[in-house]
Amino acid sequence: MHEAIVPMREKMLVYFLYIVVSCLFTSGLNIIHARYMLDIPLTPEAFVAPVIAGFLFGYLLARIKLLQERMSRVAYTDPLTNTYNRLHFGHFLDSEIDRVKRYGGTFSLIFFDLDQFKAINDEYGHLVGDEVLKEVASVVQNANRGADIFARYGGEEFIILAPATDRSGACTHAGRLRKDIAEHRFSEIDRLTCSFGVTEYRKDQDDIVSLFKRADNALYSAKNGGRNRVESG
């Protein structure tokens, strides 16, 4: 994934520090306001009130910030796999197309899905199917480069935007991913394979529709060719 996923322990530490800083800052402002604006002597009673009010207000600010972060994550991530969702992936793709048109270079798309995923859902149930999707996403996230944009496209389909990568490089990366997934021992179903379709952006020919169609056709060829393989178009 393009952005590092912060561990929960680290998130809670940052959240705690934000509460402390917010409380101290607002408490200080309240004391200054009471002493110099309202001209209230700083007796113990007059000191405690703005401190308590400041801590309460700081806590509310921290809660609001946490809520904003959660809403933001809902807007751009897939809740099951914690990858980007299809809508947010489109924003990255638009930006990458604009960058290539303006400055040159290229990029590639890697489109893949899970082989025989319906059979997994039918045999093991949808809860196991969800766990499989999460494990696949984790394997791919661990293997992707920092610049790669990884998203769940829908159902059992995933897509990767590989900036500054030609078709040959993308095929090499897709081959590594295919191997990593095929060799991964899943917790519930043991083994699984994926099929991959790869294409490179053609600056003078492509729009988003033609780019996706070519990647989809390559994936379709991989499926028809026996699955667990990489095809390019």
Distance CA 149, CA 166 (A): 15
Q: In this structure, what are the phi and psi dihedrals at residue 229, rounded to the nearest 5 degrees?
A: -150, 170
Specify the pLDDT at position 27.
65
E-state strands within the chain: 107-114, 149-154, 157-163, 194-200, 230-232
The domain locations on the chain are: 8-75, 86-232
CATH 1.10.1200.10 assigned to domain 86-232? The reply is no
Is 10 among the residues known to form the active site?
no
Catalytic residue among 96, 156, 200, 231: 156
Give pLDDT tens digits for 159-171.
999 999 999 999 9
Cβ atoms 58, 24 nearer than 8 A:
yes
Is 206 or 49 the better-scoring residue by pLDDT?
206
pLDDT tier, 79 (very low <50, low <70, confident <90, very high otherwise): confident
- Mean pLDDT on 68-73: 65
